[in-house]
């Protein structure tokens, strides 16, 4: 029987395909390489009222600024929340770096206005989320406890959550983020 080279094509092609599949399965996808310490996902968009009852849209800032999104304790008030005070103290450094700060709480606009009257104007928007829609969207509402949680998110210019104070690196605090930002200015 004469040698038929066409018969060898299928087993060779199967071996090549099998090798490529095995190679692909043993390597992480390219989009995740180098991101083992960070969770990168698209930032959920939202619309909310600020303390002057004006509409704020997160989408207006995405693509133009990096955004530091701070969820603070509305029960304490903007003027008594330690995390928000820390951000307020470092605001000049953040602004020089081109970072827009946005703060969200479950407090109604009137309570945010009262906090401003007690402590002076905040240099960034204070948004209200009394129905916890934004908190739920960002995973900061404890359903079993029926209460909102605090958190910090850094959104890059492309609209991706580049860092979260809750995960994947909960050991980092705002103190550890802000000094490096200060040094880069």
CA distances from 172 to 6, 9, 76, 166, 178 (A): 61, 56, 23, 9, 11
With a cut of 60, say whether residue 115 has pLDDT above it.
yes
Split at pLDDT 50, 70, 90, the class of 1 is low
The domain locations on the chain are 41-184
Give the pLDDT confidence of 123-181 residue by residue, as tens digits. 999 999 999 999 999 999 988 888 888 888 889 889 998 777 653 334 445 666 554 55
Query: Angle between the 82-89 and 174-184 helix axes, to the nearest 10 degrees?
Result: 10
Tell me the CATH number for domain 41-184.
3.40.30.10
Note the pTM of the prediction, 2 decimals.
0.71
Give the pLDDT confidence score for residue 21 in this predicted structure.
75
- Strand order from edge to edge, sheet including 126-128: 41-42, 160-164, 151-155, 66-71, 99-105, 126-128, 47-50, 55-57
Q: Cα 116 vs. chain centroid, distance in angstroms?
A: 26
- 8 Å CB contact between 116 and 51: yes
**pLDDT > 60? residue 6:** yes
């Amino acid at each position: 029987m004469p040698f038929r080279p066409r018969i060898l094509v299928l087993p060779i092609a199967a071996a090549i395909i099998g090798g490529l599949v095995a190679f692909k399965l043993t390597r992480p996808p390219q989009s995740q390489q180098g991101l083992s310490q960070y969770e990168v996902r698209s930032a959920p968009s939202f619309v909310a009222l600020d303390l002057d009852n004006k509409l704020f849209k997160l989408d207006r800032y995405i693509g133009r600024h990096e955004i530091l999104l701070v969820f603070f304790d509305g029960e304490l008030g903007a003027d008594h929340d330690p995390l928000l005070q820390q951000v307020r103290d470092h605001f000049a450094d953040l602004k020089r770096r081109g970072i827009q700060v946005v703060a969200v709480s479950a407090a109604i606009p009137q309570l945010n206005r009262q906090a401003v009257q007690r402590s002076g104007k905040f240099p960034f928007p204070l948004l209200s989320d009394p129905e916890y829609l934004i908190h739920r969207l960002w995973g900061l509402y404890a359903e079993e406890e029926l209460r909102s949680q605090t958190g910090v998110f850094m959104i890059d210019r492309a609209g991706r959550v580049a860092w979260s104070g809750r995960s994947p690196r909960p050991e980092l605090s705002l103190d550890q983020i802000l000094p490096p930002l200060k040094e880069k200015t």
